[in-house]
A and B are shown apart, each in its own frame.
Chain A
Amino acid sequence: MATSGKQSSQWTGRSIPRKEDLRLLQGQGQFMADIATRPGTKEAAILRSPHAHARILAIDVSEAVAVKGVVSVVTGQDVLAAGARPLVVAAPVPADYYPIAVEKVRYVGEPVAVVVARTRAIAEDAAAKIKVSYDPLPAVLGIEEALDPGSAVLHDALGHNVAVHRHLRYGDPDGAFKEAAHVVTGRYWYPKVSSTPIETYGVIATWEQGDTVTIWANFQGPFSMHPVMARALGIGQHQLRVIVPPDIGGAFGIKISIYPYMVLMALVAKIAGVPVRWLEDRLEALAASSSGTDRLTDLTAAVSNVGKVIAWRMRLVDNVGAYIRAPEPGSLFRATGNLVSGYQTQNLDVEAIAVMTNKCPTGPNRGYGVSALYFAMERHMDKIAALVGKDPAEIRRINLIPHSMMPYRTPSGGYYDSGDYLATLERALERADYDQLRQQQQEARRQGRLFGIGIAVGVDPSVSNMGYIDIVEPPEDRKPHRSKSGSGQGSHVQVDASGGVTITLSTCAQGQGHETVAAQLAADILGVDPKDIRVIGGMDSSTRNWTIATGAYSSRFAATGAVATFSAVQQIREKLLDIASHVFEADRDDVQWVSGRAEVKGVPARALTLKQLAGIAHWDVASLPPGMEPGLAVQTYFTPPTLGESVDPEDRVNSSGTYGFMADVVAVEVDSKTFAVKIHRYATVHDIGKVLNPAIVEGQIYGAALHGIGAALLEEMVYDDQGQLLTGTFMDYVVPSAPDAPDLIIDHMDYAEGSSLTTPLGAKGVGESSTETAPAALANAVSDALGIDINQLPMTPNRLFHWFLQRESLISQEV
């Protein structure tokens, strides 16, 4: 990518090669499986449930324990006896969740016993010798089945399968529906998909002095799970040290849900009396790590005679699987502030329901709670367009929030600080050459080819407000002084006595290039080369500065960790200038930082280099200004100023720190015989504020789009009616490979310095971006190509064949 324009800064805003790549390209990364274990560490293997729903009658471990090399075999009852407590969750329901099955199993793949042995292979040999007797129970799998009071119940103490049920109202939806010229309804199914990072989970747990545990894990945060883990282990947070390795092999939200395994392995290590390592294998990952929810959306729009949506009525039902596992039911509420996406609608009626079924528990997955919402809304906008006889582009023009209304407060509390949505859409149409595509479509149709065009737009929320989840309880049930808000992230910068700069992050990056961007920002402030700045990735909860929001999730680095780093380096520079002005006996205002040195204005000869000043700070306390502390280290925290409030009594919350915007335009051709979908053109334009590193941003968009495309065309966790997982291998859970990946036309809206009101750097998150729009854009395009109303993903050729056949038979019946 070309570096655009002349930047006021030398490094920030450029696509410099990444610092991380130097080690990764040589095979010298330090991933979880590469962490050296302490001598005596044993390997764990997990025996998992073959049943979707069954009572555990007995577990006989005698043969397994007798296998040579086995140290210990741990069951759910052993874990309870060791004092384990359930993992807490925001939803107030009696559905206790332990990291291993106790009494009942509730999904295929649920841990039933853990074998600790000299090698993983021996542990697997022994696991096969454990005899478990089960009393199988009927399985509940579908959303509608889970809502049916007559279905089997997963959690007896709850008595039904509904974990959360909230009704949210904003504005005057009933009034709007009375006024509506049209009422448009639709029902949409979004599939259960997992971003399946290529590196699986890994955990090492070791106890010191009996009451302090250190857990290494490729955990991506948020560290709001840290108190959850400590509580489940029955220890204080200060007794739980979590260390995250510098390299994580992809996460995409999935590596949030590793924390139950961190608790489990800590418990197993305690019971077995040895340090324990567990490296998840792919079959375990597919069956029992995490995925997004499958969601059923009922959408009704009140539409004016010109096609303006004046109210939405939404019924969102998320299937969170066998247990409601924190941060679920976040999927239902993550998008609260942007429930209207980029549209002007002020009236909203939302029924939000989470059900439990005998599937693997869910959690955050790229596009958390948003991809499913926009799939329904953007399909719906096309239906509305058809009803009122407008082009899909035009219906969006009619409804989008104009730039003149920025900053904009959504009815549900979202604060959109900036963005030009209409211009973004126009740019996308232009970059896709929309008019030409429509002509091409006419021509293709004349030839009997199935060619379609789809548009999807969306507000892209980033940096989740820790408080949004409070909405799970109705206002009257919320406890005073227990509300949550903000999204703090720390950073630490140190300059050694020789002027060497070390930035210590706590952001748990998984490929987003945090080290590179941190170095770029610092290099500009200090006037040094990013190559000469050392950046330490990973995380250590006992030695680094962090908050419960710490981690890399919710596309948050650019608007939090980068800002904290920026501000820390600025403070370092201020201190250097303070020292210089004291040494020069010059007025503080007369000393400035130029090209890596502090110099007296107008007297370039009177200058001290970074190295010299650092030397003074470390070696020569006597030369420091009176009262100044020696040393050169700064620790900062940052939270976006707009996240200062939790959910209000009207259920409004600004659920995200930044809101970008994107418009995707895609053209597809569907093979009229095999029904394979080929992406002919894909343009995506983003309004994300300032771009800190164009190559990294482009990489995020490419990756995000392909996750959305995977969900649209290929991916789904499929269970049979007994609850057996049919997509339990990488042969059957089909993710996109190189031949499936389209080239994208990517463009960005120009950033006007200072236009973002929520983040000092002006940079908004982009990590999820087109994951949220690609499924809708493709569904719109394929619907357009086939002339059918698609309301379900993925659009496999097999499904398209059947849907098309149904349409043909309907048409022939009409004739």
Chain B
Amino acid sequence: MKFPPTRYLRPVVLDQALDALNQYKGSIKVLAGGQSLLPLMAMRLADPDILLDINDLAELQEIRDWENCVEIGALIRHQRLIDDPVIQQHAPVLPLVARHIGHLAIRHRGTIGGSLVHCDPAAELPLAVQALDGEMLVQSVGQTRILPAGKFFLSYLMSAVEPHEMLTAIRIPKLMAHTRFAFDEVAGRTGDFALVSALAIVTLDDDASIQVARLAIGGVSEVPFRVYEAEQYLTDAKLTPEVIDGAASIVHQAVNPEGDLHASANYRRHLAGVLTSRVLTRVGVKGDLSWNR
């Protein structure tokens, strides 16, 4: 399982990287944490002529606290998402889900940009970004595109990033006040890709009825699945057991998963309902805002 022959570039500033992508597009692949790309290369399922190692790009390693959003450099590693105080304060959903990614060594190496571009529908960060309506900054020579999550995740293992482009940053809207959220997943083992995952983010009125609801399910479709129908159903409702059951039942109907070795379509569908009801129940109780204290 040795990597296939490749050539190597390690730019120190973003412009060099974008130039290289432009010059070698189609035969060059961005290497960030490498935790998805390198296993594929080891199995010779990926065979890039050139690896563009972006780990030295300081521009991609910043976390910026804007007025309405947090802008996270694409090279920010999962462990930093967990540990960073700005993210903990304004985008606490990310540390919550990031704790479920792989294992310690994977979290220390893997990056948010890498995970999003890899676009695995069972992965935690794409699910969170989908639920949070994050925006992706995608750059190429002389151009920046800003793509909302809905236009970024195209299909199974396929994002909207073109061969000459690079995802450079992710903007996550800050959570509104009185927002609660909860995440849960069922995986074969701790650290494995989830069979199904669910993330609920709910903003409440003063009278505890739901002002805004976001509900996303992972592992049940080609991209992380926003269940808008259930979100609508929840809006203006209160999180009573009946409402939660109703939402779970909508999710159960709405998802159309495929089966594989580890989970049949029916089991996945069942789990989508179960996890929906679990995350909504938890949100109804208090949510996971205090997870890290």
Q: How far is the CA of A84 from the CA of B5 in the complex (A)?
A: 35
What residues of A have a CB within 8 angstroms of the CB of B261 in the complex?
718, 726-727, 732
Q: Given A121-B3, A732-B261, A283 and B189 touching (CB < 8 A)?
A: no
**16 A-B pairs in the complex with CB atoms less than 8 angstroms apart:** A119-B2, A121-B5, A124-B1, A125-B5, A676-B186, A714-B188, A732-B262, A734-B188, A737-B189, A737-B190, A737-B191, A740-B189, A740-B190, A797-B267, A798-B195, A802-B267
Q: Is B279 on the interface with A (CB-CB < 8 A)?
A: no
Q: Does A3 have its Cβ within 8 Å of any Cβ on chain B?
A: no
Whole-angstrom distance between the Cβ of A196 and the nearest chain B Cβ: 14
Q: Report whether A281 and B1 are in contact in the complex, using a CB–CB cutoff of 8 Å.
A: yes
Q: Any chain A CB within 8 A of the CB of B44? A: yes
Is A673's beta carbon under 8 Å from chain B? yes
Say yes or no: is A189 at the interface (Cβ < 8 Å to chain B): no
Nearest CB on B from A648, distance (A) = 46
> What 0/1 pattern do residues 659 to 703 of A give for CB contact below 8 A with B?
000000000000001101000000000000000000000000000
In the complex the two chains form, what is the Cα distance from A674 to B270 in whole Å?
A: 8
Near A by CB (< 8 A), chain B positions 175-190 give 186, 188-190
Query: Could you tell me if B43 and A283 are in contact, using CB atoms closer than 8 angstroms?
Result: yes
Min Cβ gap B4→A in Å is 7
| Interface presence of A397 (CB below 8 A) | no
Residues in B neighbouring A740, C-beta threshold 8 A:
189-190
Q: Is the interface of B mostly helix, strand, loop or mixed?
A: loop
Given the contacts A726-B261, A737-B190, A802-B266, A674 and B1 also touching, CB distance less than 8 Å: no
Q: Which residues of A contact B5 (CB under 8 A)?
A: 121, 125
Contacts of B270 in A (CB 8 A): 801
Known contacts A718-B261, A731-B192, A798-B262: A674-B2 contact under CB 8 Å: no
In Å, the complex CA distance between A282 and B43 comes to: 10
Which residues of B are found within 8 Å of A674, using beta-carbon distances?
186, 271, 274
**For the complex, is A739 an interface residue (Cβ under 8 Å from B)?**
yes
A796 B262 Cβ-Cβ under 8 A:
yes
**Given the known A-B contacts A282-B1, A283-B1, A283-B43, are A801 and B190 also in contact in the complex, defined by CB atoms under 8 Å?**
no
- Asked if B264 lies at the interface with its beta carbon under 8 angstroms from chain A, I say yes
Residues 774 to 815 of chain A near chain B (Cβ within 8 Å): 796-798, 801-802, 805
Residues A125 and B4 in contact, CB atoms below 8 Å apart: yes
- Chain B CB within 10 Å — which of A120, A801, A805 has the most? A801
Are A734 and B1 in touch, CB under 8 angstroms? no
Q: How many angstroms between the C-alpha atoms of A724 and B246 in the bound complex?
A: 42
| Contact partners of A736 in chain B: CB under 8 A | 189
Interface size on B, residues (CB 8 A): 25
Partner of A739, one of B2, B43, B189, B193: B189
CB neighbours of A128 from chain B (8 A):
44
A-B interface contact total, Cβ < 8 Å: 61
A802 touches B264 (CB 8 A): yes
Q: Which residue of A lies closest to B278 (CB)?
A: A673
**1/0 per residue B84-103: CB within 8 Å of A?**
00000000000000000000
The complex places the Cα of A81 from the Cα of B191 at a distance, in Å, of 50
Q: Are B2 and A121 in contact (CB under 8 A)?
A: yes
Residue B263 is within 8 A (CB to CB) of chain A in the complex: yes
Bound Cα distance from A737 to B188, whole angstroms = 10
Digitize A263-299: 1 where CB-to-B-CB distance is under 8 Å, 0 elsewhere.
Answer: 0000000000000000001110000000000000000
Q: Is the CB of A734 within 8 A of B263?
A: no
Chain B nearest Cβ from A628, distance in angstroms: 58
A113-135, CB < 8 A from B: 119-121, 124-125, 128
Q: Give the nearest-CB partner of A281 in chain B.
A: B1
Q: Are B189 and A124 in contact (CB under 8 A)?
A: no
- On chain A, the residues within 8 Å of B267 by CB distance are 797-798, 801-802
Chain A's nearest CB lies how many Å from the CB of B110?
A: 15
Known: A124-B1, A283-B1. 17 other contacts (CB 8 A): A121-B2, A121-B5, A124-B2, A125-B5, A281-B1, A283-B43, A674-B186, A734-B189, A736-B189, A737-B189, A737-B190, A796-B188, A796-B262, A801-B266, A802-B264, A802-B266, A805-B266
Q: For B274, what are the chain A residues with a Cβ–Cβ distance below 8 Å?
A: 673-674
A797 partner, pick from B1, B186, B266, beta carbons under 8 A: B186
Question: In the bound complex, how far is the Cα of B243 from the Cα of A318, in angstroms?
Answer: 52
CB-CB nearest in chain B for A672: B274
Which residues of A (124-183) have their CB < 8 Å from a CB of B?
A: 124-125, 128
B3 proximity list for chain A (CB < 8 A): 121
CB within 8 Å of A: which of B187-209?
188-193, 195
Cα distance A665–B191 when bound, in Å? 29
* B:46-73 near A, CB below 8 Å: none
Least Cβ–Cβ distance between A487 and chain B, in angstroms: 38
Task: Scan residues 135-164 of chain B and give those whose CB is less than 8 A from a CB of chain A.
Answer: none
Instruction: List residues of chain B with CB within 8 A of the CB of A673.
Output: 274, 278
A739-B190 CB under 8 A given contacts A125-B4, A125-B5, A801-B270: yes
Instruction: Give chain B residues whose Cβ lies under 8 Å from the Cβ of A798.
Output: 195, 262-264, 267
| Cβ–Cβ < 8 Å partners of A727 in chain B | 261
Complex CA–CA separation, A726 to B4 (angstroms): 24
In the bound complex, residues from chain A placing their C-beta under 8 Å from that of B1 are: 124, 281-283
